[in-house]
Amino acid sequence: MANSFINASLPDTSDRMLFAVPKKGRLYDQCLGLLSSIGIEFNRKPRHDIALVTNMPIALVFLPAADIATYVAKGNIDIGITGLDIIRESQTENDVAELLRLGFGKCKLQVQAPLSHQGVASAEDLVGKRIVTSFINLTKQRFAELEGVSDPEKIKTQVRFVSGSVEAACGLGLADGIVDLVESGDTMRAAGLHAVGTILETESVLITNQHPRFPKLAAIIQKRVEGILTARQYVLCQYNIDRKSLEMACRIAPGRQAPTVTPLEQNGWVAVSVMVEKKVVGDKMDALSDIGATDILVLDIANARA
């Protein structure tokens, strides 16, 4: 279970829920944005990896993303944000509870080979060859499947660990193929590589220990984050329509629960307010306009609670 940091120069965290956040890298900015959106305020001193939250009994702990799942699984940290890829690689999926998928940090863990090696068209073609990766366990598991071997430690493919800039390994002669994360594909292409197989699709997740020390506080954080994710996913659409066309309009945009309908002073007309998924709002506006809706407005939602 989580302990306070026993060091006179460190803040007292004994009564606080420890919340781990990636200290740098691809998830850092998005995590800080999310913390701010859910109303978490803190002061972080330069070079300090612990920051006390000023308006909740929480201490933020800034850690490498790759270590967060292990700390949460072991109970040294109560709640945290990391990638699904890291949970799977650290083999902690049975010891952490996944509260929410966060919709950022989306990418794929892919097997990649040099474009110049024309004989390698699929991951199978790399069986028995040299693979370099930061994802040793997931890579060994995939090659064990490809080789039909039940123990990933008994594969003939040679899997070697490097901690970063994995794409350089083929060009430098250390590997015949690599396994690394791909988002836009720019890094892969810049290194003269192409994807020959996908091991995992990943995104960021909010996780807790299976037996969190502060279950109520963890539930509050989960609710707040859920609210922000909903707010990001939806917009509020408002329009006026003849009551005769209301049923059709509600079929076009039924909302999350149901539209709010308010009578207008104008006889027979109503004002409708409804949540619509951002990605389809253009289509919905066109369809509402086609059946006679007027003054169709779309408003951003700053926050939401189910």
Ligand X SMILES: O=P(O)(O)OC[C@H]1O[C@H](OP(=O)(O)OP(=O)(O)O)[C@H](O)[C@@H]1O
Ligand Y SMILES: Nc1ncnc2c1ncn2[C@@H]1O[C@H](COP(=O)(O)OP(=O)(O)OP(=O)(O)O)[C@@H](O)[C@H]1O
Binding-site size, ligand X (CB under 6 A): 15
Q: What single DSSP character describes residue 267?
A: T
- Closest approach of Cβ 62 to ligand X, in Å? 17
- Closest approach of Cβ 147 to ligand Y, in Å? 26
What secondary structure, in 3-state letters, does 100-141 show? EECCCCCEEEEEEEECCCCCCCCHHHHCCCEEEECCHHHHHH
- Closest approach of Cβ 138 to ligand Y, in Å? 11
Q: Which stretch binds ligand X (CB under 6 A): 112-120, 121-129, 153-161, 163-171?
A: 163-171
Query: Which residue's CB is nearer to ligand Y, number 59 or number 86?
Result: 86
- Closest approach of Cβ 69 to ligand X, in Å? 17
Cα 202 to chain centroid distance, Å, stands at 7
Whether 232 and 225 have beta carbons less than 8 Å apart is answered as no
Query: Which residue's CB is nearer to ligand X, number 58 or number 111?
Result: 111
- Closest approach of Cβ 256 to ligand X, in Å? 33
Query: Which residue's CB is nearer to ligand Y, number 183 or number 283?
Result: 183
Q: How many CB atoms lie within 10 A of CB 182?
A: 18
- Closest approach of Cβ 83 to ligand X, in Å? 11
- Closest approach of Cβ 31 to ligand X, in Å? 15
Query: Which residue's CB is nearer to ligand Y, number 65 or number 218?
Result: 65
Q: Which residues bind ligand Y (CB under 6 A)?
A: 24-27, 64-66, 83, 85-86, 105-107, 164, 181, 183, 202
Q: Which of residues 179-238 bind ligand X (CB under 6 A)?
A: 180-188
Query: Which residue's CB is nearer to ligand X, number 182 or number 275?
Result: 182
For residue 277, CA distances in Å to 30, 36, 181, 274, 285 come to 21, 23, 29, 10, 12
- Of 23, 26, 130, 243, the one binding ligand X by CB under 6 A: 26
The partner residues of 300 in beta bridges, in order of sequence, read 235
Q: Which of residues 245-304 bind ligand X (CB under 6 A)?
A: none
Whether 160 and 68 have beta carbons less than 8 Å apart is answered as no
- Can you tell me the distance from the alpha carbon of 169 to that of 132, in angstroms, rounded to the nearest whole number? 7
- Of 25, 114, 192, 292, the one binding ligand X by CB under 6 A: 25
- Can you tell me the distance from the alpha carbon of 4 to that of 213, in angstroms, rounded to the nearest whole number? 13
Report if residue 85 touches ligand X, rule: CB under 6 A.
Answer: no
Query: Which residue's CB is nearer to ligand X, number 185 or number 255?
Result: 185
Whether 139 and 152 have beta carbons less than 8 Å apart is answered as no
Structure-block tokens of residue 3:
């302990």
Query: Which residue's CB is nearer to ligand Y, number 31 or number 79?
Result: 31
From ligand Y, ligand X, none, which one binds at residue 186 (CB under 5 to 8 Å depending on kind)?
ligand X
For 28-183, strand residue ranges (E) read: 50-52, 58-63, 79-83, 96-101, 107-114, 130-133, 158-161, 177-182
Whether 69 and 94 have beta carbons less than 8 Å apart is answered as no
Residues at the interface with ligand X (CB under 6 A) = 25-26, 164-167, 180-188
